[in-house]
A and B are shown apart, each in its own frame.
Chain A
Amino acid sequence: NAGVTQTPKFRVLKTGQSMTLLCAQDMNHEYMYWYRQDPGMGLRLIHYSVGEGTTAKGEVPDGYNVSRLKKQNFLLGLESAAPSQTSVYFCASSYSPSSSGNTIYFGEGSWLTVV
C-alpha cells in the first residue's frame, strides 16, 4: 500500500526560483494537508483542502499556493523561493474529521533547501 506519496524527496533551489511539490494519496481521503516542520517549531499547517477543487489557508500560508484539481492529488507551489522556506514539508490526508476513522496519515517528507 502506497498511502501518501510525496515527490521530490530532496530539492535545492536558488532564491527566486519556483517549484511545485507533488502529493498523491490512494486512500480516497477527502481532506489533504501541507505542513512544514522546522527545528524547535513543530509541525505547522500551510494550506489544506476539504475536497476536490477546494483549498484553505492554514497557520503559515504566505509565500505558498496550492491546488487540488483531483481528489487524490494536492500540489504545493513556491512562486519565488526564499531562504526562510528552507524546511521539511509533509503532506498528509484523512477522511472528514467528523467521521469515524479520521486518522491523519503523513507522507515521508520533502527536504527543501533554498540558497
Chain B
Amino acid sequence: EDQVTQSPEALRLQEGESSSLNCSYTVSGLRGLFWYRQDPGKGPEFLFTLYSAGEEKEKERLKATLTKKESFLHITAPKPEDSATYLCAVRTYSGAGSYQLTFGKGTKLSVIP
C-alpha cells in the first residue's frame, strides 16, 4: 500500500527564518510527486511536480527537491504570506491504464512577523 508521511505536522517560523518541510513516501512505481499549497477555506493550489530523483524546482522563496524516498520543500526567508498548509502527493501507476494519487496529511506552516 502506498504511504505518504509529511513532517512536521505544524511549523512556526519567525519571518526570515528558513526551514524545510519533509515528505517521505513508500510507493511502487512513482509517476510524479506533487506539492500543493492550501489556504484556509480554499482548494489546494498547485506548486510543483517532480518526477525523478535529483530533480529540483524553484518558485520565489520555495524550492522542492526529490530523492528516491523523500521530497523536501525548502522555504528561504519566509514571509507571513507564506503561512498555509502544504500538501504532498504521490502519483503511482496501478495497472490497466489506471493511476492513483495519494496525499499526505499536510504541514501547517505559520510565519510570525
Q: Majority SS of interface residues in chain B?
A: strand
Which of A56, A105, A107 meets B46, CB within 8 Å? A105
Which of A44, A50, A97, A107 meets B31, CB within 8 Å? A97
A contact residues around B103 at 8 Å (CB): 42-44
Report if B10 contacts A (CB, 8 A). no
Q: How far is A90 from B34 in the complex, measured between Cα atoms in Å?
A: 17
Q: How far is A44 from B4 in the complex, measured between Cα atoms in Å?
A: 12
B contact residues around A102 at 8 Å (CB): 32
B contact residues around A98 at 8 Å (CB): 97, 99
Closest 6 CB pairs of A and B: A106-B43, A97-B99, A43-B103, A42-B105, A42-B103, A106-B44
Report if A41 contacts B (CB, 8 A). yes
> What's the nearest-Cβ distance from chain A to residue B71, in Å?
16
> What's the nearest-Cβ distance from chain B to residue A60, in Å?
13
B contact residues around A90 at 8 Å (CB): 43-44
> What's the nearest-Cβ distance from chain A to residue B21, in Å?
15
Q: How far is A99 from B97 in the complex, measured between Cα atoms in Å?
A: 12
Report if A26 contacts B (CB, 8 A). no
Chain B residues with CB under 8 Å of chain A are 31-32, 34, 36, 41-46, 49, 87, 89, 91, 93, 97-101, 103-106
Q: How far is A40 from B105 in the complex, measured between Cα atoms in Å?
A: 6
Q: Is the CB of A103 within 8 A of B46?
A: yes
Given contacts A90-B44, A106-B44, contact A42 B32 (CB under 8 A): no
26 contacts between A and B (CB under 8 A): A4-B43, A40-B105, A42-B87, A42-B105, A42-B106, A43-B87, A43-B89, A43-B103, A45-B101, A50-B97, A56-B98, A90-B44, A97-B31, A97-B32, A97-B93, A98-B99, A102-B32, A103-B46, A103-B49, A104-B34, A104-B46, A106-B43, A108-B42, A108-B43, A109-B42, A109-B43
B contact residues around A103 at 8 Å (CB): 34, 46, 49
A contact residues around B105 at 8 Å (CB): 40-42
Chain A minimum-CB-distance residue to B88: A42
